[in-house]
């Protein structure tokens, strides 16, 4: 097994000025499961393809272990890749698909068969070894693609959105299998996805990219509890964090007619480009429903209630009397606020509820730069 290091790795596609990946610095430990996550076009798949040798590195370098592989051919990097579209040969059996790379490498037939059978046992594919891919479900085909990677016994697994073609239930089941399999094998794994739920549930650490620039690296708990900036705060978490920018008056953020008290040292840390404002983030579960008139609370008009059995979420808006404060946004869109409520006491559409942010559960960011404020 091996570590993986991106050392100021940069990729600029011909005909473009802005790098698709800009000076990426990232170290992945031996045996670690790291998830690259971000919106479409952020550079996550390009980063993976640079590691695989499928994209040129215009500046910087990439190391696997202590070996600089920046200019090494893909076949000589000792990596195995699992693609989104399975990439199975339709005329070959499952066993032949899984063992094909070994056959090309000249591995003895007996060893190929042994490795294929071991991988099939791990992936619960033993009974399907003689079938063709067309006779398998989507989830089974993806496991065959993973088996093809496993039999090669590489130093690094690369997975490029392998669950995108599966239905929702199978996606949950398969991501659990992938995570547990990686922990059993202990192979360094770099996994690309746009789904932050996959990232939170699968990765030992998560790396968030935006516009080719690494925003933050950390454990799922780090990303959820202490997002480095407004982008990470809004991207990580489901439902998404509520985020709004408010003027600071007399030591508090002015949320319409209500006030959100701020820690004393925060006021002195406001920068010139904040222009007397602060960006406040608060997750749906950080809001308590309280009686009308409760200090530091504010009313929310209920637009939609999403009932999930064990949880319920109100999607609402701040009333117009709040003026600028009505522009709080969340994953539900602009001027929307999400509140987790008691699933046994769900308000009706059109009702107004009063909510208050729990003490010390708000996230504070510079209004100008969007960076997290240390408190």
Q: How far is it, in rounded angstroms, from Cα 3 to Cα 69?
A: 12
Give the tokens for residue 325. 């404060």
Report, at the CATH architecture level, how domain 4-233 is classified.
3-Layer(aba) Sandwich (3.40)
Contact 137, 61 (CB under 8 A): no
Q: The tokens of 320 are what?
A: 């117009």
Closest listed residue to residue 34, CA positions, set 222, 207, 197, 154 = 207
pTM of the model: 0.88
Helix, strand, or coil here: 281?
strand
Q: Is 319 exposed, middle or buried (0-12, 13-18, 19+ CB in 10 A)?
A: middle
For residue 212 the two structure tokens come to 């080719």
If you write DSSP's letter for every residue of 70-97 in order, what string do you get? TTS-GGGS-EEEE-TT----TTS-HHHH
Report the SS3 class of residue 125. Answer: coil
Q: Which helix (H) or strand (E) holds 268?
A: none
Say if strands 205-210 and 79-82 run parallel, antiparallel, or are unpaired: unpaired
Q: Where are the domains of the chain?
A: 4-233, 240-366
Nearest residue to 246 (alpha-carbon basis) of 233, 261, 231, 236: 261
What's the confidence (pLDDT) of residue 34?
96
pLDDT for 142 equals: 85
> DSSP letter at 273?
G
DSSP characters for 134-197? GGS-HHHHHHHHHHHHHHT--SEEEEESTTTTS-HHHHHHHHHHHHHHHHHHT-EEEEEES-HH
Is-contact 124 142, C-beta < 8 A? Answer: no
Handedness of CA 284, 285, 291, 296 (dihedral sign): negative
At residue 362, the 3 state secondary structure works out as strand
Q: Is the peptide bond before 130 cis (omega within 30 degrees of 0)?
A: no
Residues 216 and 228: their CA atoms lie apart, in Å, by 6
246 contacts 337 by C-beta, under 8 angstroms: no
List per-residue pLDDT tens for the chain, 375 residues long: 699 999 999 999 999 989 999 999 999 999 999 999 999 999 999 999 999 999 999 999 999 999 999 999 998 999 998 888 888 899 999 999 999 988 988 889 999 999 999 889 888 889 999 999 999 988 888 889 888 888 988 999 999 988 887 788 878 888 888 888 888 889 999 999 998 889 999 999 999 999 999 999 999 999 999 999 999 999 998 888 999 888 888 888 887 677 788 888 888 888 888 888 999 999 999 999 999 888 888 888 899 999 988 899 999 887 655 545 445 766 555 667 899 999 998 998 888 899 988 888 889 999 999 999 876
Q: CA angle, 163 as apex, 56 and 189 as ends, to 5°?
A: 50
**What angle do the packed helices 109-122 and 94-104 form, to 10 degrees?**
130
Distances (CA, A) of 165 to 19, 84, 138: 29, 7, 8
Quick one: pLDDT at residue 319?
A: 64
pLDDT of the residue at 326: 46
Using CA atoms in the order 317, 323, 324, 327, what is the torsion angle rounded to 10 degrees?
Answer: 20
How much is the pLDDT for 298?
82
Architecture of domain 240-366: Beta Barrel (2.40)
């Amino acid at each position: 097994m091996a570590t993986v290091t991106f050392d100021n790795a940069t990729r600029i596609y011909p005909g473009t000025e802005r790098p698709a990946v800009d000076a990426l610095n990232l170290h992945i430990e031996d045996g670690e499961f790291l998830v690259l996550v971000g919106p479409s076009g952020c550079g996550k798949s390009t980063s993976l393809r640079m590691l695989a040798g499928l994209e040129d590195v215009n500046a910087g370098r990439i190391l696997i272990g202590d070996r600089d592989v920046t200019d090494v051919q893909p076949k000589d990097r000792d990596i195995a890749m699992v693609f989104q579209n399975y990439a199975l040969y339709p005329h070959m059996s499952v066993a032949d698909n899984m063992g094909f790379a070994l056959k090309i490498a000249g591995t003895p037939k007996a060893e190929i068969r042994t490795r294929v059978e071991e991988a099939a046992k791990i992936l619960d594919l033993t009974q399907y070894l003689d079938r063709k891919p067309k006779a398998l479900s989507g989830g089974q085909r993806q496991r065959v693609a993973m088996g093809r990677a496993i039999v090669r016994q590489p130093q690094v697994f690369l997975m490029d959105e392998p669950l995108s073609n599966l239905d929702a239930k199978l996606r949950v089941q398969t991501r659990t299998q992938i995570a547990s399999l990686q922990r059993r094998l202990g192979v360094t794994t770099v996994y690309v996805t746009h789904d932050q739920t996959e990232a939170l549930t699968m990765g030992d650490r998560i790396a968030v990219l935006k516009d080719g620039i690494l925003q933050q690296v950390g454990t799922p708990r780090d990303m959820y509890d202490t997002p480095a900036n407004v982008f990470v705060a809004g991207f990580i978490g489901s439902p998404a964090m509520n985020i709004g920018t408010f003027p600071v008056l007399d030591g508090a953020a002015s949320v319409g007619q209500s006030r959100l008290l701020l820690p004393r040292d925060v006021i002195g840390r406001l920068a010139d480009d904040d222009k007397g404002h602060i960006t406040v983030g608060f997750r749906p579960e950080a809001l308590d429903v309280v009686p009308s008139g409760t200090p530091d609370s504010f009313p929310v008009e209920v637009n939609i209630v999403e009932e999930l059995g064990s949880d319920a979420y109100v999607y609402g808006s701040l009333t117009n009397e709040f003026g600028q404060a009505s522009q709080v946004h969340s994953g539900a869109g602009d001027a929307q606020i999400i509140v987790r409520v008691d699933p046994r006491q769900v308000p009706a559409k059109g009702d107004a509820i009063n909510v208050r942010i729990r003490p010390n559960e708000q996230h504070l960011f510079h209004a100008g730069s969007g960076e997290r404020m240390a408190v």
